[in-house]
A and B are shown apart, each in its own frame.
Chain A
Amino acid sequence: MEKCPSVKSILLLDSEGKRVAVKYYSDDWPTNAAKEAFEKDVFTKTQKTNARTEAEIAMFENNMVVYKFVQDLHFFVTGGEDENELILATVLQGFFDAVGLLLRGNVDKREALENLDLILLCLDEIVDGGIILETDATVIAGKVASHSIDAGAPLSEQTISQALATAREHLTRSLLK
Chain B
Amino acid sequence: MAQPFMKKDDDLDDEAEYSPFLGIEKWAALQEARVFNDPQLDPRRCCQVITKLLYLLNQGETFTKTESTEVFFAVTKLFQSIDLGLRRMVYLMIKELSPCADEVIIVTSSLMKDMNSKTDMYRANSIRVLCRITDGTLLTQIERYLKQAIVDKNPVVASAALVSGIHLLQTNPEIVKRWSNEVQEAMQSRVALVQFHALALLHQIRLNDRLAVSKLVTSLTKGTVRSPLAQCLLIRYISQVICDSAGNTPPGERPFYDYLDSCLRRGGEMVNFEAARAITELNGVTNQELTPAITVLQYFLLSSNPVKKFAAIRTLNKVAMTHPMAVTSCNIEMESLISDQNRSIATLAITTLLKTGNESSIDRLMKQITNFMSEIADEFKIVVVEAIRSLCMKFPLKYRSLMNFLSNILREEGGFEYKKAIADSIVILIRDMPDAKESGLLHLCEFIEDCEFTYLSTQILHFLGIEGPTTADPSKYIRYIYNRVHLENATVRASAVSTLAKFGAMVDSLKPRIFVLLRRCLFDADDEVRDRATLYMNTLGADGAVVETGGDASEFLFKSLDVPLVNLETSLKNYEPSDKHFDISSVPKEVKVKPLAEKKAPSKKPTGLGAPRRGPTSTGTVDAYERLLSSIPEFSSFGKLFKSSAPVELTEAETEYAVTVVKHIFDHHVVFQYNCTNTIPEQFLENVTVIVDASEAEEFSEVASKPLRSLPYDSPGQTFVAFEKPEGVPAAGKFSNILRFIVKEVDPSTGETDDDGVDDEYQLEELEVVAADYMQKVGVSNFLNAWENMNPDSERIDEYGLGQRESLADAVNAVINLLGMQPCEGTGVVPSNSRSHACLLSGVFIGNVKVLVRLSFGIDGQKEVAMKLAVRSDDESISNAIHEIVASG
Q: Which A residues form the contact surface with B (CB < 8 A)?
A: 1, 3-5, 19, 21-22, 32, 35-36, 49-50, 54-62, 66, 84-90, 109-110, 113-114, 116-117, 120-121, 124, 128-129, 131-135, 143, 146-153, 157, 159-162, 165
Contacts and interface: CB of A to CB of B under 8 A. Distances in A.
Contacts of B240: 3
Given A21-B58, A116-B55, A148-B84, A55 B306 contact: yes
Given A85-B311, A116-B51, A116-B55, A49 B193 contact: no
A87 B342 contact: no
A148 B84 CA distance: 5
A120 B82 contact: no
B307 A89 contact: yes
B58 A57 contact: no
A59 B609 contact: yes
Given A57-B306, A85-B310, A161-B83, A22 B58 contact: yes
Given A1-B166, A120-B54, A147 B121 contact: yes
B270 A84 contact: yes
A162 B307 CA distance: 39
Nearest to B122: A150
B60 A90 contact: no
A56 B306 CA distance: 6
Contacts of B478: none
Contact of B204 (A1, A114, A153): A1
Name B's interface SS. Answer: helix
Contacts of B164: 128
Nearest to B193: A134
A151 B237 contact: no
A50 B341 CA distance: 9
Interface stretch (B18-26, B389-397, B709-717): B18-26
Contacts of B62: 32
A36 B61 CA distance: 12
26 contacts: A3-B237, A19-B59, A49-B342, A50-B341, A56-B342, A57-B310, A57-B311, A58-B342, A59-B314, A62-B605, A84-B270, A85-B307, A85-B308, A113-B20, A117-B51, A121-B89, A128-B163, A129-B163, A129-B166, A134-B159, A135-B229, A151-B120, A152-B117, A152-B119, A160-B44, A161-B47
Given A113-B21, A146-B121, A162 B85 contact: yes
B249 interface: no
B282 to A, nearest CB: 16
A148 B193 contact: no
Contact of B344 (A5, A58, A133): A58
Contacts of B307: 54-57, 66, 85-86, 88-89
Contacts of A132: 196, 229
B200 A84 contact: no
Nearest to B605: A62
B128 A128 contact: yes
A131 B166 contact: yes
Interface in B286-327: 304-308, 310-311, 314
B585 to A, nearest CB: 50
B479 interface: no
Contacts of A89: 305, 307
B7 to A, nearest CB: 11
Interface in B326-365: 341-342, 344
Interface residues of B, number: 75
Nearest to B132: A129
B276 to A, nearest CB: 10
B232 A84 contact: yes
Contacts of B193: 133-134
A109 B196 CA distance: 34
B19 to A, nearest CB: 5
A87 B313 CA distance: 16
Interface string B217-254: 00000000000010011001100100000000000000
A133 B159 contact: yes
Given A4-B233, A87-B229, A121-B92, A152 B118 contact: yes
Contacts of B605: 62
Interface in B420-439: none
Contacts of B51: 116-117, 120
Which 4 residue pairs are nearest across A and B when measured between Cβ atoms? A85-B311, A32-B60, A89-B307, A152-B118
Given A54-B304, A57-B306, A116-B55, A159 B83 contact: yes
A131 B197 contact: yes
Nearest to A85: B311
A88 to B, nearest CB: 8
B376 interface: no
B773 interface: no
A176 to B, nearest CB: 19
B88 interface: yes
A35 B229 CA distance: 28
B232 A5 contact: yes
A165 B89 CA distance: 14
Name A's interface SS. Answer: mixed
B54 A116 contact: yes
A67 to B, nearest CB: 10
Contacts of B88: 121, 147
B166 A124 contact: no
Interface in B146-196: 156, 159-160, 163-164, 166-167, 170, 193, 196
B21 A86 contact: no
B170 A1 contact: yes
B607 interface: yes
B12 A114 contact: yes
B203 interface: yes
A34 to B, nearest CB: 11
A50 B240 CA distance: 38
A153 B608 CA distance: 55
B261 interface: no
B85 A148 contact: yes
B378 interface: no
A90 B311 CA distance: 13
A129 B197 CA distance: 13
B270 A86 contact: yes
Contacts of B825: none
Contacts of A49: 341-342
B43 interface: yes
A113 B19 contact: yes
Given A114-B12, A121-B92, A146-B121, A153 B82 contact: yes
Contacts of A90: 270
A120 B92 contact: yes
Contacts of B119: 150-153
A141 to B, nearest CB: 14
A57 B85 contact: no
Contacts of B89: 117, 121
B643 interface: no
A157 B81 CA distance: 12
Interface string B1-32: 00000000100100000111100000000000
B2 to A, nearest CB: 19
B236 to A, nearest CB: 5
A3 B236 contact: yes
Given A117-B47, A161-B47, A3 B84 contact: no
B203 A3 contact: yes
A89 B268 CA distance: 13
Which of A5, A62, A110 has its CB near the most chain B CB atoms (within 10 A)? A5
Nearest to A86: B270
Nearest to B204: A1
Contacts of A133: 159, 163, 193
